[in-house]
Amino acid sequence: MKLARRDLLKLAGGAALGTFFTPAPWKALDDVSIWTQNWSWMPVPPRGEATTRFTTCTLCPAGCPVRARCIGKQPVSLAGVGGGLCPAGLAGHHLPHYPGRVRGASHRGTRCTMDAAVAAVREVAKGGRVAILDQRPGRTASLVYRRWLAGQEGGLYLTPPAREDATLVALGGGLAFNLDEARTVVSFGAPLMEGWGSMARVLESRPKFHLVQIEARQSRTASMADTWLPAKPGTEAALALGLAHLLGSQDAGRFTPEYVERITGVPAAQVRQVARRMKDAGPAVVIGGGDPAGPFNREEEQAIAGLNLLAGAMGRTIVPRAEVPVPAGFDKLAAETALDDVPDGGIRLLIIDEAASGNPVPWSYLKRKLAPGAMVAAAACSLDGYASHADYVLPAPVYMETAQDVPAACDSPAATFSMAPGLLAPPEETIEPADFVLRVAGEGGTLAELLKARVEAIHKTRRGSVVTYADGTATPLAEMASADDLAKAFKAGARWTDAGTSSEAPGIAFAAVDAAAIERRAASAQFPLALVPFGWRGAAGPVSPIFSKLYQESRVRSSEGEARLNPATAREYGILDGGLMVVETSCGSQAMTACLDEGVMPGVIEAAIEPGTGVLEICDVEDWCGWRTAPARMRRA
Partner 1 sequence: MIRGKLFFAAGLLASLSAGWLGFPSMLYERVPQPLDFNHVAHTEKASMSCQDCHSLKEDGTFSGIPKVESCAACHAEPMGTTKAEKLLVERYVKPQREIPWLVYSRQPQNVWFSHASHLKLAKFECTECHGGHGKTRHLRPFERNRISGYSRDIWGPSISRIGAGRRPGMKMDDCIDCHRANHREHSCIECHK
Regarding 591 and contact with partner 1 (CB under 8 A), the answer is no
Regarding 5 and contact with partner 1 (CB under 8 A), the answer is no
Regarding 90 and contact with partner 1 (CB under 8 A), the answer is yes
**What is the C-alpha to C-alpha distance for residues 77 and 52, in angstroms, rounded to an integer?**
10
Provide, rounded to whole angstroms, the least separation between the CB of residue 44 and partner 1.
Answer: 4
**What is the C-alpha to C-alpha distance for residues 558 and 408, in angstroms, rounded to an integer?**
30
Regarding 84 and contact with partner 1 (CB under 8 A), the answer is no
Measure the CA angle with vertex 449, ends 448 and 454; round to 5°.
95
Q: Which is nearer to partner 1, 66 or 342 (CB)?
A: 66
Q: Which is nearer to partner 1, 37 or 110 (CB)?
A: 37
Beta strands across the sheet bearing 416-420: 404-407, 416-420, 494-497, 465-468, 474-476
**Size of the chain in residues:** 637
Which of these ranges, 140-148, 532-540, 543-551, 616-624, lies near partner 1 under the rule CB under 8 A?
A: 543-551
- Judge if the upstream peptide bond of residue 433 is cis by omega within 30 degrees of 0: no
Provide, rounded to whole angstroms, the least separation between the CB of residue 539 and partner 1.
Answer: 18
Question: Angle between the 433-441 and 140-150 helix axes, to the nearest 10 degrees?
Answer: 20
Provide, rounded to whole angstroms, the least separation between the CB of residue 551 and partner 1.
Answer: 8
Number of residues that bind partner 1 (CB under 8 A): 43
Among 2, 5, 32, 41, binds partner 1 (CB under 8 A): 32
Q: Which is nearer to partner 1, 11 or 281 (CB)?
A: 11
| 571-598 exposure pattern, b = at least 16 Cβ within 10 A, e = fewer | eeeebeeeeebebbbebeebebebbbee
**Closest Cα to residue 240, out of 202, 220, 266, 210?**
266
Which of these ranges, 42-50, 478-486, 611-619, 625-633, lies near partner 1 under the rule CB under 8 A?
A: 42-50
Regarding 11 and contact with partner 1 (CB under 8 A), the answer is yes
Regarding 73 and contact with partner 1 (CB under 8 A), the answer is no
Regarding 77 and contact with partner 1 (CB under 8 A), the answer is yes
**What is the C-alpha to C-alpha distance for residues 353 and 201, in angstroms, rounded to an integer?**
28
Provide, rounded to whole angstroms, the least separation between the CB of residue 8 and partner 1.
Answer: 8
Contacts of 477 (CB under 8 A, 6+ apart): 458, 459, 461, 462, 463, 464, 465, 466, 486, 496
Regarding 44 and contact with partner 1 (CB under 8 A), the answer is yes
Q: Which is nearer to partner 1, 18 or 72 (CB)?
A: 18
| 388-397 exposure pattern, b = at least 16 Cβ within 10 A, e = fewer | bebbbbbbbb
Contacts of 235 (CB under 8 A, 6+ apart): 263, 264, 265, 522, 525
Provide, rounded to whole angstroms, the least separation between the CB of residue 358 and partner 1.
Answer: 24
Provide, rounded to whole angstroms, the least separation between the CB of residue 33 and partner 1.
Answer: 9
Regarding 38 and contact with partner 1 (CB under 8 A), the answer is yes
Regarding 154 and contact with partner 1 (CB under 8 A), the answer is no
- Write out the binding residues for partner 1, residues 251-280 only, by CB under 8 A: none
**What is the C-alpha to C-alpha distance for residues 491 and 508, in angstroms, rounded to an integer?**
39
Q: Is 180 in a helix, a strand, or coil?
A: helix
Among 64, 93, 199, 532, binds partner 1 (CB under 8 A): 93
Regarding 50 and contact with partner 1 (CB under 8 A), the answer is yes
**What is the C-alpha to C-alpha distance for residues 349 and 121, in angstroms, rounded to an integer?**
8
**What is the C-alpha to C-alpha distance for residues 120 and 126, in angstroms, rounded to an integer?**
10
Regarding 12 and contact with partner 1 (CB under 8 A), the answer is yes
Provide, rounded to whole angstroms, the least separation between the CB of residue 220 and partner 1.
Answer: 16
Among 2, 5, 17, 82, binds partner 1 (CB under 8 A): 17
Provide, rounded to whole angstroms, the least separation between the CB of residue 69 and partner 1.
Answer: 7
Regarding 31 and contact with partner 1 (CB under 8 A), the answer is yes
Regarding 72 and contact with partner 1 (CB under 8 A), the answer is no
Regarding 406 and contact with partner 1 (CB under 8 A), the answer is no
- Write out the binding residues for partner 1, residues 309-368 only, by CB under 8 A: none
Which of these ranges, 17-25, 128-136, 248-256, 258-266, lies near partner 1 under the rule CB under 8 A?
A: 17-25
Number of CB atoms found within 10 A of residue 415's CB: 22
Which of these ranges, 84-92, 97-105, 597-605, 618-626, lies near partner 1 under the rule CB under 8 A?
A: 84-92
**Closest Cα to residue 435, out of 447, 427, 421?**
447
Cβ(353)–Cβ(433) under 8 Å? yes
Strands (E) across 120-223 are located at: 130-134, 156-158, 175-177, 184-188, 210-214
**What is the C-alpha to C-alpha distance for residues 211 and 225, in angstroms, rounded to an integer?**
5
CA distances for 43 relative to 40, 69, 373, angstroms: 8, 17, 41
Cβ(288)–Cβ(256) under 8 Å? no
Regarding 250 and contact with partner 1 (CB under 8 A), the answer is no
Q: Is 320 in a helix, a strand, or coil?
A: strand
Q: Which is nearer to partner 1, 78 or 619 (CB)?
A: 78
Q: Which is nearer to partner 1, 461 or 548 (CB)?
A: 548
Regarding 24 and contact with partner 1 (CB under 8 A), the answer is yes
Cβ(298)–Cβ(197) under 8 Å? no
Regarding 97 and contact with partner 1 (CB under 8 A), the answer is no
Regarding 22 and contact with partner 1 (CB under 8 A), the answer is yes
| Amino acid found at 596 | L
How many contiguous H segments (helices) and E segments (strands) does the chain have? 19, 28
Regarding 7 and contact with partner 1 (CB under 8 A), the answer is yes
Among 2, 5, 47, 108, binds partner 1 (CB under 8 A): 47
Among 59, 60, 78, 293, binds partner 1 (CB under 8 A): 78
Which of these ranges, 45-53, 300-308, 319-327, 603-611, lies near partner 1 under the rule CB under 8 A?
A: 45-53
Regarding 52 and contact with partner 1 (CB under 8 A), the answer is yes
Regarding 6 and contact with partner 1 (CB under 8 A), the answer is yes
Regarding 555 and contact with partner 1 (CB under 8 A), the answer is no
Which of these ranges, 14-22, 112-120, 146-154, 275-283, lies near partner 1 under the rule CB under 8 A?
A: 14-22
Q: Which is nearer to partner 1, 19 or 503 (CB)?
A: 19
Provide, rounded to whole angstroms, the least separation between the CB of residue 489 and partner 1.
Answer: 19
| Amino acid found at 390 | A
Regarding 10 and contact with partner 1 (CB under 8 A), the answer is yes
Q: What kind and span of H or E run contains 532?
A: strand 529-534
Provide, rounded to whole angstroms, the least separation between the CB of residue 593 and partner 1.
Answer: 23
What are residue 418's phi and psi, to 5 degrees?
-145, 170
Measure the CA angle with vertex 176, ends 238 and 350; round to 5°.
80
Regarding 19 and contact with partner 1 (CB under 8 A), the answer is yes
Q: Is 221 in a helix, a strand, or coil?
A: helix
Cβ(426)–Cβ(409) under 8 Å? no
Provide the binding-site residues for partner 1, judged by CB under 8 A: 6-8, 10-19, 21-24, 27-28, 30-32, 34-35, 37-38, 44-45, 47, 50, 52, 69, 76-78, 87, 90-91, 93, 546-547, 550, 554
